[in-house]
Chain A
Amino acid sequence: MNRIKELFKRKQEDVLNIYFTAGYPNLDSTQKILKNLSKLDVDIVEIGMPYSDPLADGPTIQASGQKALKNGMKLDLLFDQISEARQLSDLPMIMMGYFNQVMQYGEEQFFTKAKDSGVDGFILPDMPLHVYEQEFKTLFEDLDLGISFLISPQTDTERIFKIDELCRGFIYMVSSASITGAKKGISEQQINYFKRIKDLKLKTPRLIGFGISNHETFSKACEYASGAVIGSAFIKALDKENSLEDNIINFISSIRNDKIVSI
């Protein structure tokens, strides 16, 4: 069974999904980060494919992508890195990127290659629903791959139900009208939106992402969804002075129990 599906069968709360940019800070950081995360209390990893023009991303993810591209990150290399990490880990792995990258690789080759490398699902924020439905839905079913579409505070109810129908794995709930990047906290208005979506009783589990950055915002998000995604804050943590391994350990424990304060 698909590892994402399996996870949500087992666990419906406090799911921690960590996003990082492949090839950052160094080209071979990808495998190291994957290896470390699979030893920690992390449920899903989202591997960002660095892109020249990431429209939905804030400064932190943009900068990490630029650096990764400078380091020489390429899709074929990334597939090799994921295959290597997959030998050592059963952690659900998702690839996140932009549709142009998939198009240039050749969509079918891309999805098949990813599956063969051990990838379980995808987030492609600029892939239209109808393109997925018409061109890839059958392929995803055949390959048993996950796909997560986004919903935002502006997504209307009819469309949310349609997205609920199409998602395989989980729905990616964008916490506010914004690009990625750590924000201060979670507002009253956001809580109302979280509640509104929760009350729809969707069949697909939801993870809340964008602006989740610490124990407090993570816990808050978990009250209204199965879990949350942390990206920019994790990438920033990688830049701290300690070893990559220590930075990762410190960050994840700070999210999970807030006892070890990140240095």
Chain B
Amino acid sequence: MNKYKEHIEIDSRGYYGEFGGAYIPEMLYGNIEEIRKKYVQLWNDEAFKKEFDQLLKDYVGRPSPLFLAERLSERYQTNIYLKREDLNHTGSHKINNTIGQILLAKKLNKKRIIAETGAGQHGVATATVCALMGLECIVYMGAVDIERQAPNVSRMKMLGAEVRPALSGSKTLKDATNEAIRDWINNPLDTHYIIGSVVGPHPYPDMVAKFQSVISEEIQVQLAEKTGNKNPDAIIACVGGGSNAAGAFYHYLNEQEVRLIAVEAAGLGVDSGESAATSKLGSKGVIHGSKTLLMQTTDGQIIEPYSISAGLDYPGIGPLHAHIISSGRAEAYSVTDEEALKAAVLATRLEGIIPALETAHAFAALEKIKFEKNEVVVLNVSGRGDKDLANYIKYLESYE
């Protein structure tokens, strides 16, 4: 069936429809080519798959549970299942991708690993696999994010990584990514860049989506066991760059009856000028080596985004999401800071699960979409909220 292909199969140059490709300076061409040639080969290699799956099982703790959230279901009068990526080692979905990429880096004989991070979850996941494999690790993080996600900075340091502040622009995820790319240009031979989302030049978006696709692979099996049908009516995931959403959507992209719901951060409001709702505010352009949707001025200058959630505070989205949202395959919702905070408290009090601020945006979408009583909804709990406790407590105190 080629409908499947239509949505997730990139063409030979890495385009999903008109989005994707590799818009990179020549200095990175060799590195990107090296990865492009290797990743498909590895993905189809039994020995590699076995090593990857084994680590996901024994080290990450997969499969992550699929949990029927009865009290949330009661509240929203539908059937809500939570995919517990927050229970993975290191506390988010990010580790799925870093396990895959560290194995790739080893095959490519790289000695030094760099990464960007927003919320710090990808930074922690990268520092973790570097500790596991004994590789040097440098994580670029916006100075603002270092401040607002301090617990993860400490974790990275404990894991032996060097955290380098990005001081340009709005000092957040976009700027950390710029610095990581510049580092890679300066160190092309010994260094592998572990990008943390389905962004960046081809083949990163496809490679990261493949490493994250284990999420929907498991949902299919778990849901069939629990409901007799591997397909839910809808899947909800938050989107920063889009990696947890890509993983949760992956095996459903061609199942047209499954609604794919991507939730973006609206910050102070989509039209407030302080937002990161890229699919609403963005237009076609190039960011971090990929042709996609991004927030920019008419002169092509990238607009500094804003969200309370460091992991969603990014002015672009991955090309897969740009494609499935603009073609109508996926629906995009946006959620403000305030709505996310409220949803985080609700999820915590109803289910005893403290979600990451990023994930809280996905929970908040439940307020905006009316599901039928007999429908089955899967919500991807991309990460846990320990790193966000300071924000949550402040929010709770403001209401006491």
Contact = CB atoms under 8 A, between A and B. Distances in A.
B30 interface: yes
A105 B300 contact: yes
B26 A150 contact: yes
Size class of B's contact patch?
Answer: 35 or more
B188 interface: yes
Nearest to A159: B29
B46 interface: no
Given A75-B299, A104-B298, A125 B286 contact: no
Nearest to B294: A100
Contacts of A58: 182
Contacts of B297: 104
A243 interface: no
A74 interface: yes
Contacts of A154: 27, 29-31, 188-189
A98 B27 contact: no
A170 to B, nearest CB: 15
Given A53-B169, A74-B299, A75-B299, A100 B26 contact: no
B66 interface: no
A126 B299 contact: no
Given A104-B296, A128-B21, A179 B286 contact: no
Nearest to B174: A53
B5 to A, nearest CB: 22
B181 interface: yes
Interface in A72-117: 74-75, 98-105
Contacts of B25: 55-56, 125-126, 150
A44 B247 CA distance: 50
B18 to A, nearest CB: 12
Contacts of B65: none
B286 A98 contact: yes
B24 interface: yes
B196 to A, nearest CB: 17
Interface string B273-296: 000000000011111110000001
A62 to B, nearest CB: 7
A251 interface: no
A159 to B, nearest CB: 8
Interface string A140-153: 00000000011110
Interface in B173-206: 174, 178, 181-182, 185-189
Contacts of B23: 99, 126-128, 131
Interface string B17-60: 00001111111011100000000000000000000000000000
B301 interface: yes
Contact of B182 (A55, A75, A174): A55
Interface in A141-176: 149-152, 154-156, 159, 174
A155 B29 contact: yes
A137 to B, nearest CB: 17
Contacts of A131: 21, 23
B13 interface: yes
Contacts of A69: 301
A56 B300 contact: no
Of A51, A55, A103, A159, the most chain B CB neighbours within 10 A belong to A55
17 contacts: A53-B169, A55-B24, A55-B178, A55-B185, A69-B301, A98-B300, A100-B287, A125-B25, A126-B286, A126-B289, A152-B29, A154-B29, A155-B30, A159-B29, A174-B26, A179-B182, A179-B185
Nearest first, the 4 closest Cβ-Cβ pairs linking A and B are: A104-B300, A154-B30, A150-B26, A101-B300
Given A75-B299, A75-B300, A101-B301, 12 more contacts: A58-B182, A69-B301, A100-B287, A100-B296, A101-B300, A128-B21, A128-B23, A149-B26, A152-B27, A154-B30, A154-B31, A177-B188
Interface of A: 51-53, 55-56, 58, 62, 66, 69, 74-75, 98-105, 125-128, 130-131, 149-152, 154-156, 159, 174, 177-179
